[in-house]
């Protein structure tokens, strides 16, 4: 392992962080970075660097890196572009192990001066073995260390979890983070790659493959100069942890506007999809779908087969789920005789007792509801369970009693739900069930069914890779 890769651990787990360009002026990014670090709960040493200040947000400020006596593991750089080569030389001299370079104005400005600066700082970082996140990035967050090394303090509001998001766009990182708060997705890391001085998707895959905090790797990809580097890295690590990707740029106009090779993007988009498939990366088609799938992969075992049971407290959501399951290639199985006998025992004769089961007629009989769910969980033909329950005041008791069963469920199969209620009612109960790993919840039956579909697609992708072609 080369020095740069060896230093990735310190980059994400520093004992001390210097903010080069720290500021107490809210109009400066150096202010927001200091706020992210200090309010985000980081427990290591925070060292603001600014020759024109003595103290920032209660932390002693230093004129330069060399003025601080102790070691610095991570440098977050927010000074103007033209000052960055000097700062990088200081970092190398100080023995800084990793850099987050927020400053923009390098290669992306399509100006020879920017390109030259880019080459200059790359040479300094590479020769010192310093991995650099950026330039032109919001930064990165390591939730397991409460390290918010970004200019957005609100990333620290996210839930700690096992999904690592690696994104080529700062805007989409913010989008996915704020959507993730609403969907209650837990993140291990969020990394804005920016213009990828020397840390690209492939370096991140290598690092995250060994990261015990990360269970699922979610990528947002726009366009990269060397897609094969990503695909080769994915092939190396594929199917050890799920890798999923959302790729934009299929539109011709986006292609033209982004000054890429005009007219060639659509073809390249297909190249990406094919390459991703070979690399064991599941390609998804939207920001919500990327998060939905990451949440399922982080919270569930993979289904052993395509067999799905649909249990619904009301018939309509069950029908919506059936439509999606069939479209996704899942099999709405016929229950075993034993399961069917158990259900027949618990529901009146005229109810829909076969799959999909309408549990409505037993709505006031929580023992019956619990019994049905239990019988279906134990049926070998069932590889995944979809459970839909729409809140009504009149059915609260039945549902709350089912929670006890679900809490005890060891999660040998995916249990994906849409348990929906007015905001503030049941939210905490459902979150509790998610937190103990009993289920994974979605805001609609269609999205719940889509998540099961993607679990199964990912399982098949990896099975095909293992089988000789």
Q: For residues 99-118, which are near its own copies according to CB under 8 A?
A: 109-111
CB of 367 to its own copies, least distance (A): 15
Number of residues that bind its own copies (CB under 8 A): 81
Q: Return the bridge partners of 164, or none.
A: 189, 217
CB of 340 to its own copies, least distance (A): 13
- The helix/strand/coil state of 311 is strand
CA distances from 254 to 222, 261, 268, 365 (A): 10, 11, 13, 55
Contact window for its own copies (CB under 8 A) among 25-33, 42-50, 373-381, 402-410: 25-33
Binding of its own copies by 453 (CB under 8 A): no
Q: Which of the residues 381 through 440 are near its own copies (CB under 8 A)?
A: 388, 390-394, 418, 420-423, 425
Considering Cα of 302, then 306, then 311, then 316, what sign does the dihedral take? positive
| Residue that the structure tokens 């539109």 belong to | 251
Binding of its own copies by 179 (CB under 8 A): yes
Query: Which of 6, 299, 295, 44 has the alpha carbon at shortest distance from 146?
Result: 44
Binding of its own copies by 139 (CB under 8 A): no
Binding of its own copies by 23 (CB under 8 A): no
Binding of its own copies by 286 (CB under 8 A): yes
CB of 244 to its own copies, least distance (A): 16
Q: Which of the residues 232 through 271 are near its own copies (CB under 8 A)?
A: 248-254, 257-259
CB of 54 to its own copies, least distance (A): 24
Question: DSSP label at 238?
Answer: B
Q: Which of the residues 341 through 380 are near its own copies (CB under 8 A)?
A: 350, 352, 354-356, 360, 364
| Residue that the structure tokens 């007015």 belong to | 422
Binding of its own copies by 225 (CB under 8 A): no
d(CA 318, CA 357): 8
Burial of 182 (0-12, 13-18, 19+ CB in 10 A): exposed
Query: Which of 192, 261, 201, 249 has the alpha carbon at shortest distance from 222?
Result: 249
CB of 396 to its own copies, least distance (A): 9
Q: Which of the residues 47 through 86 are near its own copies (CB under 8 A)?
A: none
Binding of its own copies by 312 (CB under 8 A): yes
Query: Which of 390, 245, 407 has the alpha carbon at shortest distance from 318?
Result: 390
Answer for which of 11, 17, 29, 461 binds its own copies (CB under 8 A) is 29
């Amino acid at each position: 392992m080369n020095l740069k890769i060896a230093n990735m651990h310190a980059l994400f787990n520093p004992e001390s962080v210097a903010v080069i360009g720290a500021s107490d002026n809210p109009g400066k990014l150096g202010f927001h970075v200091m706020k992210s670090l200090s309010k985000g709960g980081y427990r290591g040493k925070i060292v603001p660097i600014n020759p024109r200040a003595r103290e920032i947000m209660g932390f002693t400020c230093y004129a330069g890196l060399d003025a601080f006596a102790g070691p610095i593991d991570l440098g977050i750089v927010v000074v103007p572009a033209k000052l960055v080569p000097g700062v990088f030389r200081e970092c190398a001299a100080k023995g800084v192990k990793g850099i987050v370079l927020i400053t923009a104005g390098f290669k992306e400005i399509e100006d020879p001066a920017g390109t030259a600066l880019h080459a200059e700082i790359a040479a300094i970082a590479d020769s010192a073995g310093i991995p650099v996140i950026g330039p032109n990035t919001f930064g990165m967050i390591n939730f397991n260390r409460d390290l918010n090394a970004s200019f957005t303090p609100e990333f620290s509001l996210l839930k700690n979890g096992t999904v690592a998001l690696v994104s080529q766009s700062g805007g989409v990182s913010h989008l996915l983070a704020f959507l993730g708060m609403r969907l209650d997705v837990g993140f291990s890391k969020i990394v804005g790659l920016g213009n990828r001085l020397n840390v690209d998707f492939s370096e991140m895959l290598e690092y995250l493959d060994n990261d015990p905090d990360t269970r699922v790797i979610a990528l947002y990809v726009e366009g990269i100069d060397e897609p094969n580097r990503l695909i080769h890295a994915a092939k190396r690590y594929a199917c050890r942890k799920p890798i999923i990707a959302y790729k934009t740029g299929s539109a011709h106009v986006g292609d033209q506007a982004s000054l890429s090779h005009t007219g060639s993007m659509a073809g390249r988009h297909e190249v990406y999809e094919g390459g991703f498939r070979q690399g064991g990366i599941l390609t998804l088609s939207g920001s919500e779908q990327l998060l939905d799938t990451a949440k399922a992969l982080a919270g569930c075992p993979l289904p052993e087969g395509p067999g799905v049971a649909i249990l619904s407290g009301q018939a309509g959501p069950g029908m919506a789920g059936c439509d999606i399951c069939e479209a996704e290639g899942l099999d709405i199985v016929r229950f075993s005789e034993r399961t069917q006998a158990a259900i027949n025992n618990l529901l009146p004769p005229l109810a829909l007792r076969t799959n999909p089961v309408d549990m409505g007629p037993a709505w006031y009989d929580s023992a019956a509801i619990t019994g049905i769910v239990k019988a279906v969980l134990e049926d070998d033909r069932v590889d995944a369970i979809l459970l839909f329950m729409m809140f009504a005041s009149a059915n609260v008791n039945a549902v709350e009693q089912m929670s006890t069963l679900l809490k005890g469920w060891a999660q040998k199969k995916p249990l994906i739900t849409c348990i929906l209620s007015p905001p503030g009612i049941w939210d905490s109960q459902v979150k509790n069930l998610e937190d103990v790993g009993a289920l994974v919840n979605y805001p609609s039956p269609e999205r719940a069914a889509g998540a099961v579909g993607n679990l199964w697609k990912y399982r098949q992708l990896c099975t095909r890779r293992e089988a000789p072609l």
